Amino acid sequence: MPILPVTESDRKDLEFIAFNALQPLYGDQSKTLSEWLTGDGFKKAFLMKDEEGNSKGFVSLKIDPSKDYVKISTFFIFPGFRGTGVGKCLIAWVITYVQNYNTYKYLKVTVSEDKPEALAFFQKHLFQVVEQYEGKYLPGKTEFVLYKELANGPKSS
């Protein structure tokens, strides 16, 4: 399945993610949608599509050259494709994509306590919880910060 950078022609699928999946939790997502389409804020966004061009998965990465990690800002599998291996393929692609930079040591992702299936998914793929915050992104909710060490080496102290 091809994984390609998003374009304006993907707007309908991106709006579904931004306004149906993220906005109920995090509020207005207009800026996020714009960043996905323009690449502002060090964002790079990709869609995984099937042979007919139907979107199956989405990932947004924050690639900041001043950091030793790349942050997975959004990782989303479209309804109907969950539990089919799409997430596994997409996370494997992300790991390879980031390792090809050969400068980043970690992948980072933040997961809300409201998403235990997402926490389990990332832990299954060898991400480790390194921190947790109360109310940083959602009032009264715990957010888990997970890191996955890449083949480019461990973080220096």
Q: Could you list the pLDDT tens digit for every one of the 157 residues in the chain?
A: 789 999 999 999 999 898 888 877 777 888 888 888 888 878 899 999 999 989 999 999 999 999 999 999 999 999 889 899 999 999 999 999 999 888 899 999 999 998 899 999 999 999 999 999 998 777 888 999 999 999 865 444 4
Decide if 91 contacts 75 (C-beta within 8 A): yes
Residue 121 resides in a domain: yes
Per-residue pLDDT, 152: 67
For 137, counting Cβ atoms within 10 Å of its Cβ (0-12 exposed, 13-18 middle, 19+ buried), the class is exposed
Which residues, in sequence order, are bridge partners of residue 71?
A: 62, 108
**CATH (domain of 23):** 3.40.630.30
Residue 156 resides in a domain: no
Alpha-carbon Rg of the chain, whole angstroms? 15
Q: How far is CA 11 from the centre of its chain?
A: 18
Type of residue found at 101: Y
Q: Please report how the helices 86-99 and 116-124 are oriented relative to each other, as an axis angle in degrees rounded to 10.
A: 60
Per-residue pLDDT, 153: 53
Residue 79 resides in a domain: yes
Angle at 24 between CA 92 and CA 136, to 5 degrees: 75
For 82, counting Cβ atoms within 10 Å of its Cβ (0-12 exposed, 13-18 middle, 19+ buried), the class is middle
Residue 86 resides in a domain: yes
Total tally of structural domains belonging to the chain: 1
Residue 128 resides in a domain: yes
- What is the extent of the structural domain holding 75? 3-149
β pairing state of 106-112 and 69-77: parallel
pTM: 0.88
Per-residue pLDDT, 155: 46
Per-residue pLDDT, 2: 87
Per-residue pLDDT, 1: 76
Residue 26 CB contacts under 8 Å (≥ 6 apart), including other chains: 137, 138
